[in-house]
Amino acid sequence: MARIDTLNNFLSDVANSIRAKRGTSESIPAKNFDTEIENITTGIDIIGDIVTRYIATNETISAGSFVEFINKTPTITLGTEKAIFNSYYAGANPSAVRLTDNKVFIACRASKSLQYLYGVLVSVVDGAITINHSLQLSETTKESTYISATALSADKIYISYGQYYTYGMVVTINDSTIVAGTEVQLTTTSGTFPYKQGTVALSENKVFVSHTSSAGIYGMIITINGTSIIAGADTFISSDTIDSPSHQLSVAKLSDGKLVLVYGIASSSKIYSTIITIKDSTFSCGTFSAKTLTFAQYWTLRIIVLPDDKILLAYRYQSGLYGIILTREVNSYSYGTETVISSLTSTGTNPEIGLQLTPDNKIFIAIGSSVDNSGNDAYYPIWAFIVKIEGSTITPVSEETQIIFNTEYSSDTIEPIALSEGVIFIACQSGRSDGYYLYGTTIAMDLEQVKNTTTSTPDGIAKTSGEGTSTIYTNQIEVYIPRV
């Protein structure tokens, strides 16, 4: 029979680990854990998970102390909404990246007719959004239907973009001014269908770029010298053709520097995943793992990597938002069970999903829905809520909150970015009957914190020591918690 990790088992593990380190068999009361752990310089091993939490204000916690978590049910507070581009078809297909605690860069398409690439630098102070600078980045003849940006540093961004070809550019930030680099064409064969982009920074001077075409999925490694781009070989990954806007491609970095690539073929209800190993300017793929989803012709699919390299995969269907936890094996992923994350419905086309990891390791989710906060049909207002992941279980921990109320907005693209602790900036492509517009909004969250407890059923045991200040979200400690 499989072991059940109860609190009693968890405490026994702590005691056994201390005894093993001390080379003793004597009884060790739980009240002495803090002293015992502090006296062991090489650390202890406990069958449980380690999480990082902010220390509650003015709280002093010693290693080995019993602790409890507060703010387990976070709230979402609406901030300020601002039109970033408020003209016909401006700001479509945004890709937003965090530069600092209060600065965000947004790459987007600036015009329906010209479709060139545009860049916008915004700052967020006390929830208020300020546009610092905007600049046309590419030639008007280069279409930017699909855009994927990744931050190389606090003042440098790499952008892949294009439609039937893929282009690349490095953009730098000089104080609050955007400076465009040289545009480089990365692919030479025109696709029958638009190329979707997926980028991830490997270092400040190296980027992995994946893209789709009617011939399949490809990847390349880009080397960056200043703002110059040297493209590696465009390497075949898979013959699966992602030939519809409803089909998806996502790539993200794992804790050991490898990458995970997930893509979906909506017409066959299939999703695939693989782990990519980078070596210098080449890469190789591990085993491709497949899963058939419940719904055919699902819409948007997004992933986010959790601290233990598990992945939350979320996808949208008209009846709600669904999720699956992917667990890493070695060079592949296994799939958990599909879960209904939200029953917010959508009767429109391709309502988007935005995912962002919070500082207390929960997931902030923003989705479009055809229902407003009064239960009436609407033009896809955006809703937000927070979930936690325990093992393979996805559990909402906050109420669903409508964060954009103007019912002319349509959540065709949602890009949430975590800034200073507890603050999320959201770039939203908003479709209306006369075109597309780019809006930004901010929200604030209560984050889970840790404090001392004398209860007989603590949430965990402090692994490290620390002190909370009078300012919220300042110092953090690590906490052992029983594994679910």
pLDDT surpasses 70 at 377 = no
Q: How confident is the model at residue 266 (pLDDT cuts 50, 70, 90)?
A: low
Q: Of 217, 198, 265, 250, nearest to 355 (Cα)?
A: 250
Distance CA 450, CA 59 (A): 9
Q: How confident is the model at residue 225 (pLDDT cuts 50, 70, 90)?
A: very high
State the average pLDDT over residues 176-184: 94
Long-range Cβ pairs for the range 14-18 (8 Å, 24+):
14/44, 14/46, 14/461, 14/480, 17/44, 17/45, 17/46, 18/44
Percent of the chain with pLDDT over 90: 34
Q: 37 lies in a domain?
A: yes
Concatenating the DSSP letter of every residue in 84-122 gives EE-STTTTEEEEEEEEETTEEEEEEE--TTT--EEEEEE
pLDDT surpasses 50 at 300 = yes
Q: How far is CA 353 from CA 73, 114, 150, 316, 342, in A?
A: 22, 27, 18, 7, 12
State the average pLDDT over residues 312-322: 87
Q: Of 80, 98, 83, nearest to 173 (Cα)?
A: 98
Q: What is the pLDDT of residues 453-470, one digit of tens each?
A: 988 788 999 989 999 988
Q: 396 lies in a domain?
A: no
State the average pLDDT over residues 22-46: 65
Question: Which residue range(s) make up the domain with 473?
Answer: 7-72+448-481
Q: How confident is the model at residue 436 (pLDDT cuts 50, 70, 90)?
A: low
The pLDDT of residue 447: 84
Q: 240 lies in a domain?
A: no
The pLDDT of residue 222: 95
pTM: 0.82
Average predicted confidence (pLDDT) for the chain = 82
State the average pLDDT over residues 327-332: 89
Q: 66 lies in a domain?
A: yes
Distance CA 402, CA 286 (A): 41
Q: 471 lies in a domain?
A: yes
Largest Cα span, the chain:
78
Q: 461 lies in a domain?
A: yes
Q: How far is CA 472 from CA 266, 467, 475, in A?
A: 44, 12, 8
Contact 293, 269 (CB under 8 A): yes
The pLDDT of residue 211: 83
Q: 99 lies in a domain?
A: no
Q: Of 467, 463, 484, 483, nearest to 475 (Cα)?
A: 467
Domain count, the chain: 1
pLDDT surpasses 90 at 171 = yes
Q: 455 lies in a domain?
A: yes
CATH number where 49 lies: 2.40.300
Q: What is the pLDDT of residues 36-72, one digit of tens each?
A: 766 664 544 555 678 888 899 899 999 889 999 998 8
Of 48 and 288, the structure prediction assigns the larger pLDDT to: 288
